[in-house]
Amino acid sequence: MDSKNILLIENCDLDAILIKESLMQNGALYNINLLGKRKEIVAHLENILTPNGSDIPDLIIANEELIMHNGVNILAQIGGLANYYIPVIILSSNGPAVRPLYNKNTCCVINKPLEVSEFLNIIKEIKFNWLL
């Protein structure tokens, strides 16, 4: 089985640790690239969007707060990748009020639960539905 590349956009250290540990359970092999600052997120996305872009992820898991900048969704650009399909999962603390379109409608918005066990169950569901 090939290792999957995951771009994790998260600035909460605890959430990042929980997500990474949950994904890596049971010996799963994933290359997880963690980005937590807008400047590095933008630079990484610009690299992906270049004609010979590298580090193209198989899945993006992103904290909603980090992808919205001055009312603009910085992930919307990846919808222009003609040869790639990158599913995007947005983790929101704000509830399901705003559901913008990401990456040609391949987005899933999930509300982050406050309970750790519920949060881990959501990550397990993401793993089962998007990475296996």
pLDDT confidence of residue 102: 57
Any idea what the Cα angle at residue 99 is, between residues 93 and 102, rounded to 5°? Answer: 110
Place 92 in a pLDDT band, splitting at 50, 70 and 90: confident
Contact 56, 28 (CB under 8 A): no
pLDDT tens across 99-129, in order?
Answer: 555 555 567 888 888 899 999 999 999 998 8
Place 2 in a pLDDT band, splitting at 50, 70 and 90: confident
Is the pLDDT assigned to residue 21 strictly greater than 60? yes
Structural domain including 117 reads 4-131
79-117 as b/e, with b when 16 or more CB fall inside 10 Å?
Answer: beeeeeebbbbbbbeeeeeeeeebbeeebebbebeeeee
Domain of 83: which CATH number? 3.40.50.2300
Q: What is the pTM of this model?
A: 0.86
In total, how many domains does the chain have? Answer: 1
